[in-house]
Amino acid sequence: MNSLVKKIVIVGGGTAGWLTAGILAAEYKNKSALDIQITLVESPDINPIGVGEGTWPSMRATLRKIGISEADLVTQCAASFKQGSKFVGWKTGLEGDVYHHPFTIPNGYLECNLVAAWQTQFSDLPFADVVSVQNYVSESGCSPKQFTTPEYAGAVNYGYHLDAGKFGELLQKHCTAQLGVKHILDHVTHVISAPNGDIAAINTKEVGAIEGDLFIDCTGFACLLLGQHFGISFVDKKNFSLNDSALAAQVPYPEEISPIASSTIATAQSAGWTWDIGLSSRRGVGYVYSSTHISDDHAERELRAHIAKSVGVDAAEKVSTRKLAIRAGHREQFWYKNCVAIGMAAGFIEPLEASALALVELSANMIRDEFPLTSATMPLVAKRFNSVFQYRWERIVEFLKLHYVLTERRDTEYWRDMSSPDAIPEQLQQQLLLWAQRPPYINDLIQVEETFPSASYQYVLYGMGFKSNVNGVIRASDNVNLGLEKIKDNFERSRKYANLLPSNRELIVHIFKYGMQKI
């Protein structure tokens, strides 16, 4: 029987559930010919994990399409402006060991070989500092936009740091009040199967059976539908990512006017790394680590010692911590029959580079763009979805591993194990051999919408001191002279931007007082 797909049931709230609901509802609201109904069911007792409070620049386009004001995001979610990631101590662990992965791609990236130009005249300077203005802007404490810049526009590319719990609340209010999403707070008791093996309905404690044509599993690590009901197996990636634990803390600013960092600061520790995310109201600080290499108690002492460097020992001791478990891996399939998993139900590696929310966006966008209008087309869409996201998860595993494999640190067993050749995915090993002869470029990655573009690989590779023999073969397409012009233009624009752009704190105070200009 070929039936229309009209009822979407999202099981699980939090950021993944409500972001998915918003993306789909914004697309199909008031489309009477389709008459698609979206219901979100979540337990009243489960709080969102909220490990990641960082987003990619893609979130700007997502929120614009959903219809959420950027000013509301800033004022209601304690949001600040994120311009990339800053890595401290990952290469050698010595003083001055710092590199950046900015959100803005290198100036002239598609026109010339900037690596060759950098190595020709500026190899004594960090790669990202030379090819992008963003490092200078970010390290100067500047925001990505002026007071008069309209919502979602900027002088440089940017995403957000935000309070994940408040973000979920904002999405919930908007989806229910403006986009027609039906919200049910209830406990799922069991799944009701259709004769063909699909999910016919979920049964809840108070409301009873809730029928649907497409079910989206946003139940986090529990993976109630795809994992528990359908038995889709979990593909463990622990051999590539040893980090299985995290301690999270909320650290107050010393003063209301304290500066707000423009980057997520990832600092290498003895058995993992700490994140430091500056919101407008507080900092989110945590330690991602391997329990094989350090005990929970020792990890907490190391985290508090790290926090004490910025706020003092007494303040660091008063901070409460929350323990989180990490299971690195993903489902063998992401869409099975009439059920698709999004968010942590689909998988998770670690919070490095904040890929979790970006994957939610990508997943919901693909469902939106290739929505199966009938049950007959659903297997075809599911097959395409699984193929695309299998590819994306492989690339994410490789890109995150890239941050570890080039380290020169041998001071602890953790760093020795994380950089072991046996722990490097095969394709990444092959790519590193190629990149020793020439830089990464767009044809290394075949998807139109890559999770991490080739420019990101360059930032990490050369930030970690990787060498490419770019002078081995001189090609006309390298266009080194143009590259040198682009680099000089970067230096001029960096000084200009730093003089024109307000600080993050100044911009956020302005937004709270006056709002933002609409596009």
Q: What is the pLDDT of residues 500-511, one digit of tens each?
A: 999 999 999 999
CATH class of the region 7-53+163-238+328-393: alpha beta
Instruction: Report whether 103 contacts 157 (CB < 8 A).
Output: yes
Whether pLDDT at 484 is above 60: yes
What does R_g of the chain's alpha carbons equal in angstroms? 23
Whether pLDDT at 55 is above 50: yes
Q: What is the pLDDT of residues 57-87, one digit of tens each?
A: 999 999 999 999 999 999 999 999 999 999 9
* Mean pLDDT across 106-112: 93
Provide the pLDDT for residue 472. Answer: 64
As a whole number of angstroms, the distance between CA 318 and CA 295 comes to 21
Instruction: Report whether 340 contacts 214 (CB < 8 A).
Output: yes
Identify the band that residue 46 occupies on the pLDDT scale cut at 50, 70 and 90.
Answer: confident
Q: Which residue has the higher pLDDT, 517 or 460?
A: 460
Half-sphere exposure of 18 (CA within 13 A, CB side): 23
Name the CA dihedral angle for 211, 213, 218, 219, rounded to a multiple of 10 degrees: 40
Mean pLDDT of the chain: 94
Provide the pLDDT for residue 51. Answer: 46
Provide the pLDDT for residue 129. Answer: 96
Write 130-133 long-range contacts (CB < 8 A, 24+): 130/487, 130/490, 131/106, 131/107, 131/486, 131/487, 131/490, 132/102, 132/104, 132/105, 132/106, 132/107, 132/490, 133/104, 133/107, 133/490, 133/493, 133/494, 133/497
Share of the chain above pLDDT 70, in %: 97
Question: CB-based contacts of 185: which residues, under 8 Å, 6+ apart?
Answer: 42, 43, 44
Whether pLDDT at 43 is above 60: yes
Provide the pLDDT for residue 498. Answer: 86
Half-sphere exposure of 102 (CA within 13 A, CB side): 21
As a whole number of angstroms, the distance between CA 265 and CA 513 comes to 28
* Mean pLDDT across 331-344: 98
Whether pLDDT at 449 is above 90: no
What DSSP string describes 223-265? -IIIIIIT-PPEEE-TTT----EEEEEEE--SSTT----SSEE
DSSP 502: P
Identify the band that residue 450 occupies on the pLDDT scale cut at 50, 70 and 90.
Answer: confident
Whether pLDDT at 1 is above 70: no
As a whole number of angstroms, the distance between CA 493 and CA 495 comes to 5
Least confident of 41-50, 304-313, 385-394: 41-50
* Mean pLDDT across 109-130: 94
Helix (H) or strand (E) holding 170: helix 164-178
Least confident of 26-30, 145-149, 310-314, 402-406: 26-30
DSSP 188: E
**Cβ-based burial of 363 (10 A; exposed 0-12, middle 13-18, buried ≥19):** buried
The first and second tokens of residue 296, run together, are 């929970």
Beta bridge partners of 514: none
The full length of the chain comes to 519
Q: What is the pLDDT of residues 250-294, one digit of tens each?
A: 999 999 999 999 999 999 999 999 999 999 999 999 999 999 999
Whether pLDDT at 49 is above 60: no
Provide the pLDDT for residue 34. Answer: 73
Q: Which residue has the higher pLDDT, 49 or 244?
A: 244
Residue with tokens 């009701």: 192
Instruction: Report whether 54 contacts 353 (CB < 8 A).
Output: no
Alpha helices by DSSP H, listed for 335-479, are: 355-369, 378-405, 413-418, 426-435, 454-463
Residue with tokens 């990631």: 85
